[in-house]
Amino acid sequence: MPAVLKAPLVVEFPFTRSLGPVQSAFLTGLRDRVVLGVRTGDGRTLVPPVEYDPVTAEEIHDLVEVAPTGTVTTWAWNHHPRRGQPLSAPFAWVLVRLDGADTALLHALDAPGPDTVHTGMRVRVRWAEDRAGAITDIACFEPYDGDAAEPTGHSGEFGDPVTGIVAAARLDYTYSPGRAQTAYINALSERRNVGERCPSCRKVYVPPRGACPTCGLATSEQVEVGPAGTVTTFCIVNIKAKNLDIEVPYVYAHIALDGAGLALHGRIGGIPYDQVRMGLRVEPVWTEGGRYPDHYRPTGEPDADYETYKELL
């Protein structure tokens, strides 16, 4: 039994969001070194602000400035800061209730060690040198033993408000495909398609997941399928994907490899997009060093009879 594969994977994309009037004022305020909260119907001040009263669900927009000093209400020590976190050296995650606010804001506290942090300790904002209208305009909090700072009396009105932000979403993780897909991937490295057959319903799963979801049984019998197959259904792609060097329009299809009990996905090439059809017989095209077929092209055989693939749509 060969070792089960695993590999680091990263999913990353920029998430663009527009800001309503309240979040716009909050982030624009940070750019100008002012912290704004919002007043609820019962007179509480929420920082960070929200657009709807959490009790009554009424829309709220009464902005009120709070101080850049506050009190830690709870905390946790971060021993190993990760990429993209506010500080590169170990720090505390803290909830800080700023002076004048009734709720607490999550941020980082720059402190020499966990024994120097406690609930109730006084802190103040350390502003980032370059500020653009984002929560990172607060670089972090730092210990502070003075009195509450006075708000500047800002009205919450700005001449050039920030109206949108781009948040880079990123997920780093280790993926292990498990025993069945490891065998599938290893076979692909020899340009072979190996699925697994269910011992009960005899369906051949490609790629195999290690179990038959219909019968609830583990699969282990390996079955080589393909390399040719039949287009069971398809779509024409007209939108060019970022970072993907394929001219549109092109066809993406469900392809039932010969002997497989379900269809897999693949791009169809070597034929004009408007001539692709259900039943078209195709074979894989590999590129040098490719770990899976680059696309599938027509074999030149007559089309498959609908009866042979109607269960594989």
| 200 in contact with Zn ion (CB under 5 A) | yes
Residue in this structure with the two tokens 């469900």, named with its chain if needed: 254
Which of these, 129, 141, 126, lies nearest to 91 by C-alpha position? 141
| 25 in contact with Zn ion (CB under 5 A) | no
Number of neighbours of residue 100 by Cβ within 10 angstroms = 19
**Of 57-65, 207-215, 235-243, 253-261, which part binds Zn ion (CB under 5 A)?**
207-215
Query: Is the sign of the CA dihedral 229, 232, 237, 240 positive or negative?
Result: negative
| 268 in contact with Zn ion (CB under 5 A) | no
Per-residue CA distances from 142 to 33, 153, 221 (Å)? 15, 23, 61
| 198 in contact with Zn ion (CB under 5 A) | yes
Shortest separation between residue 179's beta carbon and Zn ion, angstroms: 18
Shortest separation between residue 223's beta carbon and Zn ion, angstroms: 13
Shortest separation between residue 233's beta carbon and Zn ion, angstroms: 23
**Of 68-76, 107-115, 119-127, 198-206, which part binds Zn ion (CB under 5 A)?**
198-206
Which of these, 181, 244, 233, lies nearest to 209 by C-alpha position? 181
The H-assigned helical ranges of 165-239 are: 178-188
**Tokens standing for residue 161:** 């408000």
Which of 28, 219 has the CB closer to Zn ion? 219
218/202 Cα distance (integer angstroms)? 12
| 313 in contact with Zn ion (CB under 5 A) | no
| 215 in contact with Zn ion (CB under 5 A) | yes
Shortest separation between residue 75's beta carbon and Zn ion, angstroms: 52
Per-residue CA distances from 30 to 107, 162, 172 (Å)? 14, 10, 29
Which of 76, 201 has the CB closer to Zn ion? 201
Which of 29, 261 has the CB closer to Zn ion? 261
| 218 in contact with Zn ion (CB under 5 A) | no
For Zn ion, the binding residues (CB under 5 A) are 198, 200-201, 212, 214-215
